[in-house]
Structure 1
Amino acid sequence: MSALTHRPPAVNRPDGRESATGRAGGVSGMVWLTWRQHRWALLGSLVLTAVLVGWMVYLSIDMTSLYHQCHDTACPPFSPQRATLWADFGPIRQAERLGLVVRYLPLLIGVFIGVPVLAREHEQRTLLLAWSQDVSPVRWLWTKLALLGLFVATLTAVLSAATQHLAHVYSNIVGGGLFDESSFLVTGMLPLASGVCWFAVGVALGAVIRRTLPAIFAVIAGFIGLMLGVQWRYPTLMKPLSVYQRLGQPGPRVADPNALIVAGQIQISPDSVSNVFDSPGHEVTYADLHRMCPNLMEDPNSTPDCLARNHLLTYMIYQPSSRIPAFHLILDSAYLGLAAVALAAVWLIVRRTSLSAG
């Protein structure tokens, strides 16, 4: 009988425990095997998540206390509270750096937890041993993916909750909207969806490439490419609203502090002007603007008052904050859909993998 169809007996070790071969069968054996193979990555992830969550909770409490000292408004210039908040390594800068770390955590998950699941088995040629035990290749795969995926989902869910709270505190103090890139891309459970996605993609790329280091480089390239794509496209996932805004009057961001301004910047340079319109909606030329504001170049500080005095308009394109949940849902669904595709690809690859090839 070949080694692929024969079930090897459990081998008793001198210390009374069964060998890894004998313990491979059953859920408990798979739990032990998964822990044995991935314990350092799991422990590192657990420690890192605990540090980040604890740090964010501490910052949220500290920033909220300073915010209350300023009577729940922006702290006045030169006040001790403002100096503390905006110090070089003060709470504001720490919160910004933590947000950046959270955005890159899914990459670490894909590299250190996702890729080794199959790439290391291929590279070390241990699939023949792993898949000739009591557990079939497909069951071996889904059990490991379920255990590791549940671990990843739990950690990223806790991290998402802490990041969401810190982003709201940061927005209240700084005045930045929750639709802005720095806050939007780490709220709405996006760390959870992205973490699960890159775990699955890491497993898939490891199964396809079958070498750990090349698969890691592929994950890094894919992560950076997708991240840049999301940053570029997320403001227009839904058709934005637009309005002609009279200069000198409150715009959409004042009425809706969490709105996202997609376009609407005024540019004035020698001999050119853009995004400035008169009352009927005709674009103002540089000559027209110079006639209205003769001291345009001599005294640039007077330009805003001059534009408002002449009832000029700017064309504002924006996304209202009421669309934030819908945008988060779109991106969460896209990440989870990509994870489902990656897992389906892994399943097909495992089903067709030749054990003799290792």
Structure 2
Amino acid sequence: MIWLSWRQFRWQALVAAVALVLVAAYALYLGSDVRDAFAAARSNCGTGTSCPQAMAELKAHYRETMLFLAAALGLALALLGTFWGAPLVARELEAGTHRLVWNQSVTRRRWLATKLLVTALTAMAVTGVASALLTWAARPVDEASANRFDTILFGSRNLAPVGYALFAVTLGTVIGLVVRRTLPAIGVTMAAFIAVQFLVPNLVRPHLMPPETATMAMSADAINRARNLGSITGGSVIGGVTLPDEPDAWISSTSPLLTADGRPLSSARFDACLNSPPRTGVRGTFGDTAVCLGKLDLHLRITYQPGTRYWAFQLLETGFYVLLSALLAAFALWRIRHRLT
């Protein structure tokens, strides 16, 4: 049965092997280029203020490339589910070829378990190698960015993509088993996988471990290090802050700018500093506005996950997808035995 499953799967495996060779070649090229650029940026760190600017330029230069590669890996995982998982059983049921096997000595559950095991293990192996190559190539940029918890980047590094690959194939197989038509199963699998990939980072990942809280004083220098001030809806909000003692922490939420007594800064005072601050000639991202706000003795309440929990989150999220896959596989084995004629 294993030999038959592998023989049916050999063309998909061949395509995956060719794609993996191309990925490896590009990753080696990109990794070498990134490391040369990182070494050049580090050479400026001995000149004082040039170091932060050089690192910022490095991150900006490769940011779009890293996001594109992460999105490409996410798309590849969705394709594994739609073109490896969904047709795995649906194609057999649609063509009626499953009856030939079921009339032999092979049981239904063994037939399904073997096909799913061969496909899922291959998908996990291919994804694991691709993820390792991408993680290696991007490591200098990831270290400079100190943003390993980024929603898109987190799912394209280290262990997490392996769990996604297992889930994608299992999900597609179960949908194909239920729908029993290849094309509808492909469409439903694609939509379902994308929905889960959107929901888990926003609804599940923040609650895998209880967050910590901190208070951060918002001096002019701290405000200048933020990425944005204000919002289209108004209000004294600030975004893209970094904890001084936890530069790689995952900040899940921040309060509005708070005054010394713990109350939100009024919109009138915030807008006054934002729109017409006293001229000081100070340079920086927000310049005079940062100086104006820095004189108001402001602070933030921040909810965050320490950077030291990164690997714990990788393991927990991978385990969550393995658990989902196990539940889906158990349902498939039950259904093929009791509900499918």
Which TM-score applies when normalising by structure 1? 0.77
Verify: 1:246 aligned to 2:232, yes or no: no
Q: Which residue of 1 aligns with 2:312?
A: 326
Same amino acid, percent of matched pairs: 27
> Contact (CA 8 Å) 2:159, 2:315: kept in 1 or not?
no
Q: Matches of 2:314 and 2:259 in 1, distance apart?
A: 37
Distance change >3 Å, CA 297–CA 70, structure 1 → 2: closer
Distance change >3 Å, CA 77–CA 167, structure 1 → 2: closer
Q: In structure 2, which of residues 109, 128, 136 is the aligned counterpart of residue 157 of structure 1?
A: 128
The residue matched to 1:253 in structure 2 has which SS? coil
1:183-204 CA-to-partner distances (Å, cap 9, x unmatched) read: 2122241110110111111111
Q: Which residue of 2 aligns with 1:34?
A: 5
- Structure 1 residue 312, shift from structure 2 partner: 1.5
- Structure 1 residue 139, shift from structure 2 partner: 2.2
Greater than 3 Å deviation, 4+ residue runs: 72-79, 81-87, 249-254, 286-290
Q: CA RMSD in A?
A: 2.8
Distance change >3 Å, CA 342–CA 129, structure 1 → 2: same
Q: Which residue of 1 aligns with 2:192?
A: 222
The residue matched to 2:275 in structure 1 has which SS? coil
Q: In structure 1, which of residues 306, 321, 332 is the aligned counterpart of residue 292 of structure 2?
A: 306
State the aligned residue count: 309
Ranges in structure 1 where 5+ consecutive residues have no aligned partner: 1-26, 266-274
- Structure 1 residue 252, shift from structure 2 partner: 4.8
> Contact (CA 8 Å) 1:123, 1:211: kept in 2 or not?
yes
Q: Matches of 2:75 and 2:212 in 1, distance apart?
A: 31
Q: Which residue of 1 aligns with 2:283?
A: none
Distance change >3 Å, CA 85–CA 321, structure 1 → 2: closer
> Contact (CA 8 Å) 1:114, 1:199: kept in 2 or not?
yes
> Contact (CA 8 Å) 2:211, 2:303: kept in 1 or not?
yes
Which TM-score applies when normalising by structure 2? 0.80
Verify: 1:59 aligned to 2:40, yes or no: no
> Contact (CA 8 Å) 1:167, 1:187: kept in 2 or not?
no
The residue matched to 1:71 in structure 2 has which SS? helix
Ranges in structure 2 where 5+ consecutive residues have no aligned partner: 223-240, 278-285
- Structure 1 residue 38, shift from structure 2 partner: 2.6
Larger radius of gyration: 1
Verify: 1:68 aligned to 2:19, yes or no: no
Q: Which residue of 1 aligns with 2:281?
A: none
Distance change >3 Å, CA 303–CA 151, structure 1 → 2: same
- Structure 1 residue 138, shift from structure 2 partner: 2.4
1:209-228 CA-to-partner distances (Å, cap 9, x unmatched) read: 11011111111121121111
Distance change >3 Å, CA 84–CA 185, structure 1 → 2: closer
Q: Matches of 1:82 and 1:312 in 2, distance apart?
A: 27
The residue matched to 1:245 in structure 2 has which SS? strand
1:119-146 CA-to-partner distances (Å, cap 9, x unmatched) read: 0011111111122234232222222222
